[in-house]
Amino acid sequence: MAYVLMIDDNPQTRKYVEKIFKYRSKHELGFATSASEAVEMLVQRRPDVMMLDLFIPGMDGIDFFHSIRNHPATESIPVIMHSPVELDQLTKLRLKRVRFEGFAQFPIAASELNELIATALKHNEVSTKKWIPPAV
């Protein structure tokens, strides 16, 4: 069982994902609602996978992602970026320049979310030299 930390301030999205984890996932789920809370939680327990909203209070999700990747303690945590809103072209372009392990557009099917998590966990186990960006 893996520990997944979800960073998202939207209560509906958190509740939706919490139901998926309760009924359709074998993994443990933790929540942070802001960048500062996420940092506190990262200090307490290192997640096996992080689900990061692109629009979090306190910091742009992509900027927060870069700060995670630039710290030795968190640089190898697989990240699934997510959003409940359709992305504009600028955000899609910014995402193409980021090395994350998956993207979830909410609402998402439980099977699809579980597959993204499984892929991110495999990515964590096997270090690959060739990175293939996920479809956004």
- For 14-21, what is the mean pLDDT? 96
Dihedral angle, C-alpha 65, 2, 132, 88, nearest 10 °: -50
Confidence of residue 58 (pLDDT cuts 50, 70, 90): confident
Q: What is the DSSP string of the chain?
A: --EEEEE---HHHHHHHHHHHHHH--SEEEEESSHHHHHHHHHH---SEEEEESEETTEEHHHHHHHHHTSTTTTT--EEEEESSPPPHHHHHHHHTS--SEEEESS--HHHHHHHHHHHHHHHHS--SS--PPP-
Instruction: Please give the pLDDT value at position 128.
Output: 41
The Cα–Cα gap between 133 and 136 comes to 9
Give the closest residue to 104 by CA, choosing from 2, 41, 10. Answer: 10
Q: Whose structure tokens read 């939680």? A: 41
**pLDDT of 126 over the 60 cut:** no
The predicted model scores a pTM of: 0.88
**pLDDT of 125 over the 80 cut:** no
Instruction: Please give the pLDDT value at position 136.
Output: 59
Instruction: Please give the pLDDT value at position 134.
Output: 57
Q: Is 58 left (phi over 0), alpha (psi -120 to 50) or beta?
A: left
- For 43-66, what is the mean pLDDT? 93
**pLDDT of 129 over the 50 cut:** no
Instruction: Please give the pLDDT value at position 130.
Output: 43
Domains of the chain with CATH codes: 3-125 (3.40.50.2300)
